[in-house]
Amino acid sequence: MLLEGKVALVTGSTSGIGLAIAKALAAEGAKLMINGFGDPAEIERECADLGALHDGADMSKADEIERMMRRFADELGGPDILINNAGIQHVSPVQDFPPEKWDAIMAINLSAVFHTTRLAVPGMKAKNWGRIINTASAHSLIASPDKSAYVAAKHGVAGFTKTVALETAQDGITVNCISPGYVWTPLVEKQIPDTMAARNLTREQVMNDVLLAAQPTKRFVTPEEVAALAVFLCRDEARSITGANLSVDGGWTAA
């Protein structure tokens, strides 16, 4: 119970990586607010399992983020741990990329990270303790075709992370990115048909020659492997790790 007494907000935690991080933080005793969309009965079950509150704020909307952060402060006292994890993807060559998809990816994957962070930092400074962990991506370090908005947003998250790490380095706050390789979640599953269309490939070719081929380990990263690093970064022993972009990508970005 390393995180007993800590309160944590995990955005985009009704599925995939965020849900695994929420479970791992709860297992260490953190009190949680989860966020994200999904089947209300399933969300209710997750909340009961984790002893968590749920807030359905749409992370593409600054006013909803502000309302959620106010609610968090009122009900739990302001986040000690902020996990910026909500994210979406769209796969399309740049000339066909729908501008509204670009805007949504920028809002959810990048601007939301700014909004939650700007509202969380004052409380963390007052406590002289805080952990901000942004789920970036291997695409914060390298590019892949047909993912211009995602790659741009995730590179932005990496730059934002380093900047805020410098601003808060003397306040007991660490700010880091975790950059996973491919993790088998709905986000990856949903991009398969668009990748097939954009590159004229079969489903098997996308699975084997695009997704698994990217990673020298030739296997998907699991959500739990990402969550384990998030928990480590919350520990007091990790206080000197700040401004880092830590890869959990099976060697993808080393290759």
Evaluate the CA torsion angle 168, 171, 173, 174 in order and state its sign: positive
17 makes contact with ligand NAD (CB under 6 A):
yes
Cα(119)–Cα(21) distance, rounded to whole angstroms? 21
Task: Pick from 54, 180, 242, 245 the residue near ligand NAD by CB under 6 A.
Answer: 180
110 makes contact with ligand NAD (CB under 6 A):
no
43 makes contact with ligand NAD (CB under 6 A):
no
Write down the least CB distance from residue 107 to ligand NAD, Å: 8
Write down the least CB distance from residue 154 to ligand NAD, Å: 7
168 makes contact with ligand NAD (CB under 6 A):
no
156 makes contact with ligand NAD (CB under 6 A):
no
What's 124's DSSP letter? H
Evaluate the CA torsion angle 79, 81, 82, 87 in order and state its sign: negative
One DSSP character per residue, 172-207 reads TEEEEEEEE--B-SHHHHHHHHHHHHHHT--HHHII
Evaluate the CA torsion angle 179, 182, 188, 193 in order and state its sign: positive
Task: Pick from 21, 22, 86, 234 the residue near ligand NAD by CB under 6 A.
Answer: 86
> HSE (CB half, 13 Å, CA atoms) of 169?
11
Active site annotation includes 150 = yes
59 makes contact with ligand NAD (CB under 6 A):
yes
Structure tokens at 252: 């993808």
Q: How many CB atoms are closer than 10 A to CB 221?
A: 21
Please list, in sequence order, all residues whose beta carbon lies within 8 angstroms of the beta carbon of residue 148, skipping any fewer than 6 positions away: 94, 97, 102
Active-site residue identified among 72, 150, 182, 220: 150
Task: Pick from 76, 187, 238, 241 the residue near ligand NAD by CB under 6 A.
Answer: 187
Write down the least CB distance from residue 224 to ligand NAD, Å: 12
247 makes contact with ligand NAD (CB under 6 A):
no
Task: Pick from 28, 58, 66, 171 the residue near ligand NAD by CB under 6 A.
Answer: 58
182 makes contact with ligand NAD (CB under 6 A):
yes
> Which residues make up the interface to ligand NAD (CB under 6 A)?
12-18, 35-38, 58-60, 85-88, 108, 135, 137, 180, 182-183, 185-188
Residues marked active site are found at 150
